[in-house]
Amino acid sequence: MKIKKVAIIGAGNGGITAAADLTNRGFSVSLYEIPAFSGNIEGIKRNKGIMLQDENGEKFIQFSNVTTDIEKAVEDAEIIMLTVPSFAIENIAEQLAPVTGEEQIILINSAGSMGSVRFVNKAKELGIDTSFNIAETNSLTYGTRAFPEEARAELSLYVKKIFFSAYPSSNTDRLIDICSKLYDCFVPAESIWHTTLENGNPEVHPGPALLNAGRIDYSNGEFWLYKEGITEHTVKVLKAIERERLNIGEAFGFDLEDAVESRAGRGYFEDDGRGLQTLFNTSEVYTKIKGPVSIDSRYFTEDISNGLVLWSGLGRVAGVETLNIDAVITLGGTLLEQDFYEEGLTLESLGFSDYTLQQLINTV
């Protein structure tokens, strides 16, 4: 399949960056944002393009195909790429599923949170039985920050390695062959359980951020997790959650990457033996990232509700203790006055109630 047009859904960090990058590389691109967040595309409309800053300097990319009409956005697109937060998947599915053809490919290019299953489940709720060509990754293909008002993207990293899985996994080889025409960093995952357990955000963000809650409150928006919040002590919580995640992966039959191997593979730093804390504290990419700027940020809400809660459930099915994962879920819920176990992503909400470990493995 030749890729001529890519429809990007979501004008956040990833969407604005991808619109500039893919346009610069010769693809026809449309960028969609939901009407409630139409302000994210006003700067692009005004400037008639995006200023892309990367290791080669700054380049203005002429670009004006922005819209809040999803049917117009996806028309004639071979690939529809979602660059939206995990919590937005169901909302996007309500809009996108009715206008997507079976020949089009849906690529969820973000941190894997079973988005493919959730998209298909929502479509079925709407009475749509399309056989979607759908896949997801374990992380965004860019290390980037975008500034919608200025129509500007600061691209720190073209990620070198991203896990990719279709749903069902029997479609992975076919879809990765097509989607690799956009990005050459994709490697096949064994299933979307694999991509979900290779999502590093729930491991890195909530635990250390939780231990810095007072500092986040006091800093009034001037907090930098990677260079000041990950210390010789807070990294121990990160490592404890890592051990539990790796144990869950082993039960599923996966040889998961640890935090250093994962991020070195993606290109965020070079594994030179200095240890995870130092690598985070000195990374040229991570040290440019501010945040979380408040306790109700996605570092807590999304990464606990759509990450750790599911990992905890997988641990129970796999017979793996998740004491540290559960502690962060509980304390995070106390801070935010939320019941993450009740509100978060669970096996039950995915439609996998009472499944055995082997049934979960075979399902996707």
Q: Give the pLDDT band (50/70/90) at residue 1.
A: confident
pLDDT for residue 270 is more than 80: yes
The number of domains in the chain is: 2
Residue 106 and residue 252 share a domain? no
Q: Give the pLDDT band (50/70/90) at residue 276.
A: very high
For 10-29, letters b (16+ CB in 10 Å) and e give bbbbbbbbbbbbbbbeebeb
Q: Give the pLDDT band (50/70/90) at residue 65.
A: very high
Residue 206 and residue 180 share a domain? no
Q: Percent of the chain, pLDDT > 90? A: 95
Query: Domain range spanning residue 162?
Result: 5-197
Residue 276 and residue 205 share a domain? yes
**The pTM is what?**
0.94
* 230-257 confidence digits (pLDDT tens): 999 999 999 999 999 999 999 999 999 9
pLDDT for residue 112 is more than 90: no
pLDDT, mean of residues 190-195: 96
Residue 306 and residue 186 share a domain? no
pLDDT for residue 212 is more than 90: yes
Domain boundary among 173, 197, 221: 197
Q: What is the CATH number of the domain that holds 178?
A: 3.40.50.720
Domain boundary among 147, 173, 197: 197
d(CA 247, CA 242): 9
Residue 238 and residue 162 share a domain? no
Q: At what angle do helices 13-24 and 39-47 cross, to 10 degrees?
A: 30
In 3D space, the residue among 169, 213, 202 whose CA is nearest the CA of residue 188 turns out to be: 169
pLDDT for residue 341 is more than 90: yes
Q: What is the CATH number of the domain that holds 306?
A: 1.10.1040.10
* 133-190 confidence digits (pLDDT tens): 999 999 999 999 999 999 999 999 999 999 999 999 999 999 999 999 999 999 999 9
d(CA 292, CA 44): 26
pLDDT for residue 310 is more than 80: yes
Listing DSSP states for 313-324 in one string gives HHHHHHT---HH
In 3D space, the residue among 321, 308, 312 whose CA is nearest the CA of residue 203 turns out to be: 308
pLDDT for residue 349 is more than 90: yes
Residue 174 and residue 285 share a domain? no
Residue 46 and residue 186 share a domain? yes
Residue 69 has what pLDDT? Answer: 97
pLDDT, mean of residues 327-345: 96
Specify whether the CB–CB gap between 244 and 325 falls below 8 A.
yes
Residue 120 and residue 65 share a domain? yes
Amino acid sitting at position 43: G
Residue 356 and residue 212 share a domain? yes
Domain boundary among 151, 173, 197: 197
- Cα-Cα-Cα-Cα torsion 186, 179, 149, 157, nearest 10 degrees, comes to 20
Residue 61 and residue 84 share a domain? yes
Q: Percent of the chain, pLDDT > 70? A: 100
Residue 330 and residue 348 share a domain? yes
Residue 46 has what pLDDT? Answer: 96
Q: Which residues pair with 188 in a beta bridge?
A: 164
pLDDT for residue 111 is more than 90: no
Residue 275 and residue 192 share a domain? no
